[in-house]
Amino acid sequence: MLGTGFISDFYTSALHSLRSDDRVVMVYSRSLERSKKFAEKWDIPRWTDDLEKAVNDPEIDTVIIGLPNDLHLDSVKAAAAAGKAILCTKPLGRTAAEAKQMLDAVEEAGVFHGYMEDLAYTHKTLKALTSVKNGALGDILWVRSRETHPGPHSDWFWNNELSGGGAIVDLGCHCIEIARNFIGKDIRPVEVMCWADTQVKPIDAEDHGIGLVKYENGAIGQFEVSWNFRGGMDLRDEVSGVEGYLRMDHFLRTGFEMFTAVGEQGYVAEKAETNTGWLFPVGDEIGELGYDNMFYEMFNAIDKGTEPMETFYDGYIVNAVIDACYKSAKSKKWEPVELEVWRGRENVKKISGLKDYDEDHYLVKTEKLPDGSDKIILKNKKTGKISQIHNE
């Protein structure tokens, strides 16, 4: 485990949970004191402040990177040179160029690489993805993903140089990849329109961002991210297709609500702002955030010699979209997503939901009226004229 911060705590908790045979046997921190403290907390036998010593430990088969964004590249290079399987937290890089260097490093070394996009692995998300892949919603037209909370937990997040940006690179990476999964990872993201601003926090990076990502088939991925939201962490996704719609609430509205006048004497949930009044505890944060499924799928892929659902290539694509978001926020125009490498489909046709009503008309809409009768809206195939039929 490279890193001893908040995310490494979550990762180790997931790895050591229940009766798991997977164990962290070495932990690295830039501070020897922090690595020792972390090791004692999680019963890890070895600790160090030497990165090369950590990744070259002969007992280790997998290196998990839970370090600040500016340290990902050097860590990936070191672990790849050591021939280890590598799992890296999100975002992969601060920029697409940095992510591409990491992708090149693992592919040249021939090592396993997994992009730890946990929110693509939540139980609700995986169930929803199965439904979408089975055609329950038809072609996906629009995905909206929202992640908002009062702001991250460590100082480096707030430093533009160390993190690579603000709320968009921190949270938007989740939302962009969630949309890609539902729309189709083989569908190319082509251009972006984004608004970003610093509304509240005394920082150089943006604390709020809203973006639209247009895909080659006409689908739209929409995200809203913020470090200004009050009341905890709000995670929700919506997916709309030609034949249906679904929505998911992952935090705040999970069916677990509690009121306390005297206060909850302990941890409530990630990013919870208060321990009195109405609270929204989370029964199983590891499961609700997808860490359990993520590690299970990635370790199975390592064992089988297969590719996981999320790879460094996916992380690179996400970084390229984020780069376009930052360009658009400055130019206030649609900006192209520049991809040095694209491994998906080419020349994809636009989604079409056209349905024939009869030989001469397309069906626009049918509607059941209060009296039980049907109204049918039609479009003439030749003239384009819109008309309606009222069936008693």
Quick one: pLDDT band at residue 352, thresholds 50, 70, 90?
confident
Residue 338, pLDDT above cutoff 90: yes
Helix or strand run (H / E) with residue 33: helix 32-42
- Which range of residues forms the domain containing residue 71? 6-117
Mean pLDDT score, 370-389: 93
91 and 204 both lie in a single domain: no
Tally the domains of the chain: 3
Decide if 345 is inside a domain: no
Catalogue the long-range contacts made by 265-273 (C-beta closer than 8 Å, 24 or more residues apart): 269/232, 269/233, 270/149, 270/233, 271/149, 271/150, 271/153, 271/232, 271/233, 272/232, 272/233, 273/150, 273/230, 273/231, 273/232
Q: Which of 25-39, 318-332, 336-350, 357-371 has the lowest mean pLDDT?
A: 357-371
**What pLDDT, on a 0 to 100 scale, did the predictor assign at position 323?**
98
Buried b / exposed e across 246-261, counting CB within 10 Å, b at 16+? bebebbbebeeeeeee
Domain match, 250 and 131 both: yes
pLDDT of residue 153: 87
Q: Are residues 111 and 204 in the same domain?
A: no
Same-domain check for residues 107 and 131: no
pLDDT at 273: 87
On whether the CB atoms of residues 86 and 65 are closer than 8 A, the answer is yes
Q: Is residue 105 part of a domain?
A: yes
78-91 confidence digits (pLDDT tens)? 999 999 999 999 99
Query: Could you tell me if 85 and 168 lie in one domain?
Result: no
Give a yes or no: residue 356 inside a domain: no
Q: In whole angstroms, what is the distance from residue 183 CA to residue 175 CA?
A: 12
Q: Is residue 145 part of a domain?
A: yes
Distances (CA, A) of 179 to 23, 189, 231, 304, 346: 32, 10, 25, 28, 19
> Is the per-residue pLDDT at 390 higher than 90?
no
CA neighbor of 102 nearest in space, from 299, 309, 295, 319: 319
Between CA 8 and CA 27 the distance in angstroms is 10
* Counts of helices then strands in the chain (DSSP H, E): 12, 17
Given pLDDT bands bounded at 50, 70 and 90, which one contains residue 2?
A: very high
In terms of domains, do 260 and 300 share one?
yes
Q: Give the number of other Cβ atoms within 10 Å of residue 109's Cβ.
A: 18
Dist CA 80 CA 307 (whole Å): 16
CB 351 within 8 A of CB 242: yes
- Residue showing tokens 């919870």: 272
- pLDDT band at residue 18 using 50, 70 and 90 as cut-offs: confident
Alpha-carbon 84 to chain mean position: 24
**In terms of pLDDT, which residue wins out, 74 or 263?**
74
pLDDT value of position 254: 83
Highest mean pLDDT among 184-198, 239-253, 278-292 belongs to 184-198
CATH number reported for the structural domain that contains residue 52 in this entry: 3.40.50.720
Q: Give residue for tokens 């992009």.
A: 115
Q: Which of 94, 117, 140 is the last residue of a domain?
A: 117
Residue 372 binned pLDDT confidence (cut-offs 50, 70, 90): confident
How many Cβ atoms are within 10 Å of 150's Cβ, its own excluded?
18
**HEC-encoded secondary structure of 10-24:** HHHHHHCCCCCCCCC
Average pLDDT over residues 372-380: 92
8 Å CB contact between 258 and 278: yes
Judge if 82 and 148 occupy the same domain. Answer: no
pLDDT, tens digit (0-9, with 9 covering 90-100), for 119-169: 999 999 999 999 999 999 999 999 999 999 999 989 999 999 999 999 999
> Residue 19's pLDDT band (boundaries 50, 70, 90)?
confident
| 154 and 249 both lie in a single domain | yes
CB 88 within 8 A of CB 315: yes
Instruction: Report the candidate in 215, 235, 124, 92 with the shortest Cα–Cα distance to residue 175.
Output: 235
Domain termination residue (choose one: 117, 137, 156)? 117
What per-residue confidence (pLDDT) applies to 66? Answer: 98
Q: What is the pLDDT of residues 272-295, one digit of tens each?
A: 888 999 898 888 899 999 999 999
Q: Which pLDDT belongs to residue 266?
A: 84
CB contact at 8 A, 167 and 186: no
Tens-digit pLDDT profile for residues 306-330: 999 999 999 999 999 999 999 999 9
In terms of domains, do 274 and 323 share one?
yes
Answer whether 339's CB lies under 8 Å from 324's CB: no
Residue scoring higher pLDDT (266 or 311): 311
Band of pLDDT at residue 391, cut at 50, 70 and 90: confident
Query: Is residue 316 in some structural domain?
Result: yes
3-state secondary structure of 152: coil
Is 352 within the bounds of a domain?
no
CA dist., res. 108 & res. 115, Å (int)? 17
- The pTM of the full predicted model, rounded to 2 decimals, is 0.93
